[in-house]
Amino acid sequence: MTTRKNALVTGANKGIGFETARRLAAIGYKVWLGARDAKRGQAAAEALRGEGFDVEWLALDVTSEESVTDAAKTLAARAPSLDVLVNNAGVAPGYVDALGPDGRYERPPRRESIADIKATYEVNVFGPVRVTQAFLPLLSASGAARIVMLSSYLGSIARAAGESQSPNVMGYGSSKTALNAITVAFARELAPRGIMVNAAAPGYTATDLNAHKGHRTVQQAAEIVVRLATLDAGGPTGGYFDENGPLPW
């Protein structure tokens, strides 16, 4: 008998996370839809079950050690292993307020709030570390797990230094740069266990994060995420990709 593979997507009640959950469920995964808000998480899971998919809400606040630990215990009691972890949850406090009439980001680094930057790092950097560490026993039990970190083009130092038109978003961009480094660190440690860890840049996607100013759809954005989540044995690990291939760090 074939056991259905399990996937966990954090911050999956909307946006790219929701579409990623849908896509993974559509190809046969049982998806655990991680969300901190019970009402929104349950509604999202119910919507996907309404499409015929095997999806359950998992209470998960990536900023809370207790919440993450409890989520890992809950999943361990329900599943023998975790085959895919998508660290999708992300925030960009203050970003929308800094958008001009033409949708361009207009807040220079000298005016970025330290409080906003700390809040950004708590979710975008420490969140993926906290979740990956907590679920590592289940990921290791898979034998061939895949971890995807939701990065951004703004995380590329080479891109920021070489393209004057790239938005100069210090807090959010540097959080994704840090996440890229975390991707490499986990990839180095987990390669002997057969676990592949990669960072995905979905592009400027229309979501709540940017007041839906992005020019890409969530369907387009989820393409690279799902591709990295379902890599065959022998695929890349410790890389940074968009749908067209590797990106410069």
Q: What is the pTM of this model?
A: 0.96
By the 10 Å C-beta count (0-12 exposed, 13-18 middle, 19+ buried), 168 is classed as: middle
72: domain CATH number is: 3.40.50.720
Q: Which residues are catalytic?
A: 172
Domain presence at residue 104: yes
Phi-psi region of 212 (alpha: psi -120 to 50; beta: other; left: phi over 0): left
Domain presence at residue 215: yes
pLDDT in tens, 152-169: 999 999 999 986 678 899
pLDDT in tens, 61-110: 999 999 999 999 999 999 999 999 999 999 999 888 888 887 788 899 99
**Count of structural domains, the chain:** 1
pLDDT in tens, 179-223: 999 999 999 999 999 999 999 999 988 788 887 887 899 999 999
Mean pLDDT of the chain: 95
Distance CA 71, CA 62 (A): 10
Domain presence at residue 1: no
Domain presence at residue 174: yes
Distance CA 183, CA 132 (A): 10
Domain presence at residue 122: yes
Domain presence at residue 113: yes
> 1 pLDDT exceeds 50?
no
Q: Which domain holds residue 228?
A: 6-246
How is residue 110 written in tokens?
A: 């000298």
